[in-house]
A and B are shown apart, each in its own frame.
Chain A
């Protein structure tokens, strides 16, 4: 199986080459995306088939010669392979249609398969070199994709911040691996697993791994690149970046912390929980303020990464205390949420892409009424929005429900830090979930409902069949995963077993397909039944009323309390919709401030409202750093314009200093 997967990677790379060659021909698109679709499906099947099988290894004579390139396919890798295969297949299918709108296919086609290949290689890698190689390759390829629309405003900055942060992440992981490998250079994971780091070393590895994987995943405060880079890329790539690449980062974290390092320490769980909680809330708050559809989705990705990390933190907390059943539950929840997020975030990015190609804008304030112009897209977008808002019976709810169950599992952990963090994280998670619902009401309500806010939106045309097919498949998967969460949980079980040597009870054994993390009397959820109830009740109500009471409908102008205003501008906009929440949360977190400039009576100028928002993370962390580098660069720049005498003085000084050092040494 592993050789098949490796062949797929090779085929993807070949596809990248072909893409470079055929980029400017129409066949290139079909070739690249069609090929990627097929290969991703193969990967998906291979991943599914390998979930339960034993670990497979293969070593290729590539990379560092005295190590070789170690590939390993275990349950964890297989699980993420499924994720990549699924996300990649969806994106490729979508792109088969969406790609037609690309202005510069030569900037996308060569890098798209390479990006996929990079991600697959990351999960397959079984030595530090190959891992980082693939990790950086993934970053580089996606950077090139981010730069696709390079002449658009902001793309340059997005690409810059993205690749810089990606490299920062790579270098941090490099340091972490350096520590794990030790002075002897045991770069293969097998020898790292043997050397259990302890004490300060372990702490250092953990911190580095968290920073490294976290900055790629989008953990606050290392998330700043994400809302810039994800929207800049073409939509199917955004879907991959948000839906899949962040998960690959999560994979990296899991691989290092749970697999390579051995057991965690309790304070590490506290750190992860704290980061996860803050990330979840900050991400969604930022999403609430955004009016660029894709940026909004990217911010929401930050939120979901936070949720996943909360799950991982819980797993660590329970593992530390030897409570394997709980750890398994939390880990399952985290992985399931990762899977779900791939589904609905890809779906939402697809819809954003469809909207973009239909209207030519990503600005929420210029959309509206698309439910009439693009009915299928609207339906799937609604499914996506409801799924990401964690509403039953869709998949987002199922995984968040599991995380809530994990939070509630053990209030009696011995460590004070965990005692405190668990409920706080529960509250943050609840807050994030509620805000996410608000955020996606806003997205769908402003974007698809109401009246068109621009001519482009008024004349939008439904997108092509491939795009719709991709979206429909993902919407269906969202629904299926919500209805049968037990199947997903059981599928994840081997991964959890591998990591924690324990698993959740088998779920599919229940005749009603109810999921019960610990016991049915304690907590249980049956998505299928709830969905059936809702459908049945809805049908009963609708049919009953239509039969028994009235079914007459009369179309009439908008009533609007008797004061209808025909102009769409009188509608609530995205900004006005978010205003209450901006006032409540934004004022504290983002120093959001509104200034109203009201003309005096008699003046003819329009009244204006101006809102300002500061990103606290940027202000507190990045701005000073940028300032420092700029200052240092400015200060050093003088050295470019010195006279030769001064340069000679440097030589002289160096000589004297070294001689002095020599005398001291002697």
Chain B
């Protein structure tokens, strides 16, 4: 029983990392959004499984948020936005996708290396899970810094956040998890709304292209 629950949790965690890599691999925006939804789905499954094995019903709320908000609502909103704002349908990368994947590999290796000395004293879930969560977080950050497109950057942030939620739920008995996941959802909603309001087409930091060019040089 324990072994099985552990294996399933582990599998879901691995799946999360895998989906993260899938994200890195995408070069079309719509596809990326689909993968994002998948990412959230895996997260939701994982959280639900944790709720089950930890016997912590409140985690189901988090799972529900992950499913409803992140797997459905956000991808949908982003898709809408890409359409409405006429954003390029391609993911603009800073370095080639191959290189990004390699870097992602390196990051996973780094996470494992970092977590290696952690003594597996209490339950092995912690060590493995956290290593994987760390990978997801790092890959999310990597995504944010290697993609020029605002939408893909939001996707990066979302996956980062998924990693954190995953870690939080993985930690047995962690308080405030639900609140945190709600807070994060609000944060993400803010970001999405912000992008939409400020019409950020290309870059994360461009509020309005035309206006920006005027003062960027003159200010310091």
Contacts and interface: CB of A to CB of B under 8 A. Distances in A.
Direct contact of A and B (CB under 8 A): yes
Interface of A: 637, 640-641, 643-646, 648-649, 651-652, 655-656, 659-660, 662-663, 666
A655 B138 contact: yes
A644 B216 contact: no
Contacts of A651: 141
Given A643-B205, A644-B204, A652 B144 contact: yes
Which residue among B94, B141, B153, B206 has the maximum number of chain A CB atoms within 10 Å of its CB? Answer: B141
Contacts of B199: none
Interface stretch (B71-79, B83-91, B106-114): B106-114
A663 B110 contact: yes
A649 B107 contact: no
B113 A663 contact: yes
30 contacts: A641-B216, A643-B204, A643-B205, A643-B206, A644-B203, A644-B204, A645-B147, A645-B148, A645-B153, A645-B203, A645-B204, A645-B205, A646-B145, A648-B141, A648-B144, A648-B145, A649-B145, A652-B141, A652-B144, A652-B145, A655-B138, A655-B141, A656-B138, A659-B110, A659-B111, A660-B110, A662-B114, A663-B110, A666-B116, A666-B117
Given A652-B141, A652-B144, A663-B114, 4 more contacts: A637-B220, A645-B205, A652-B145, A663-B113
B216 to A, nearest CB: 6
B191 to A, nearest CB: 12
A648 B114 CA distance: 22
A126 B76 CA distance: 74
Given A645-B144, A656-B107, A640 B220 contact: yes
A652 B114 contact: no
B142 interface: yes
A640 to B, nearest CB: 5
B108 to A, nearest CB: 12
Interface residues on B, range: 20 to 34
A643 B207 CA distance: 11
Interface in B177-219: 203-206, 216-217
A662 B116 CA distance: 11
Nearest to A637: B220
The 4 lowest CB-CB distance pairs between A and B, nearest first, are: A644-B205, A649-B145, A644-B204, A652-B141
A640 B217 CA distance: 10
Contacts of B111: 659
Nearest to A651: B141
A635 to B, nearest CB: 14
Which residue among B94, B110, B147, B217 has the maximum number of chain A CB atoms within 10 Å of its CB? Answer: B110
A655 B142 CA distance: 11
A644 B216 CA distance: 13
B163 to A, nearest CB: 13
A660 B111 CA distance: 9
Contacts of B203: 643-645
A656 B110 contact: yes
B148 A652 contact: no
Interface in B143-171: 144-145, 147-148, 153
B38 to A, nearest CB: 24
B194 to A, nearest CB: 12
Contacts of B144: 645, 648, 652
Nearest to B203: A643
Given A656-B107, A663-B110, A663-B113, A645 B138 contact: no
A646 B146 CA distance: 9
A214 B111 CA distance: 54
A659 B141 CA distance: 14
A101 to B, nearest CB: 42
A659 B148 contact: no
Contacts of A659: 110-111, 114
Contacts of A652: 141-142, 144-145
Contacts of B107: 656
A663 to B, nearest CB: 5
Contacts of A646: 145
Which residue among B113, B145, B153 has the maximum number of chain A CB atoms within 10 Å of its CB? Answer: B145
A641 B216 CA distance: 7
B95 to A, nearest CB: 11
A660 B110 CA distance: 7
B160 to A, nearest CB: 10
A413 B43 CA distance: 85
A485 B96 CA distance: 85
A376 B111 CA distance: 86
Contacts of A649: 145
A632 to B, nearest CB: 15
A532 to B, nearest CB: 71
A663 B220 CA distance: 38
A649 B147 CA distance: 11
Contacts of B147: 645
A641 to B, nearest CB: 6
Given A663-B110, A666-B117, A645 B141 contact: no
Which residue among B111, B144, B216 has the maximum number of chain A CB atoms within 10 Å of its CB? Answer: B144
Nearest to B94: A645
Contacts of A637: 220
A134 B26 CA distance: 66
B120 to A, nearest CB: 15
Contacts of B141: 648, 651-652, 655
B37 to A, nearest CB: 24
A630 to B, nearest CB: 15
Nearest to A664: B113
Contacts of A662: 114
Contacts of B153: 645
Nearest to A644: B205
A655 B138 CA distance: 9
A646 to B, nearest CB: 8
A640 B107 CA distance: 28
Nearest to A650: B145
Contacts of B142: 652
A148 B23 CA distance: 65
A651 B147 CA distance: 15
A662 B117 CA distance: 11
Contacts of B114: 659, 662-663
A251 to B, nearest CB: 44
Contacts of B138: 655-656
Contacts of B113: 663
Contacts of B110: 656, 659-660, 663
Contacts of B217: 641
A643 B205 CA distance: 6
Nearest to A649: B145
B137 to A, nearest CB: 9
Nearest to A642: B205
Nearest to B118: A666
B145 A645 contact: yes
Nearest to A643: B205
Contacts of A641: 216-217, 220
Contacts of A640: 220
A655 to B, nearest CB: 7
Contacts of A643: 203-206
Contacts of A644: 203-205
B104 to A, nearest CB: 12
Nearest to A647: B205
A292 to B, nearest CB: 36
Interface string B120-153: 0000000000000000001001101101100001
A98 B73 CA distance: 81
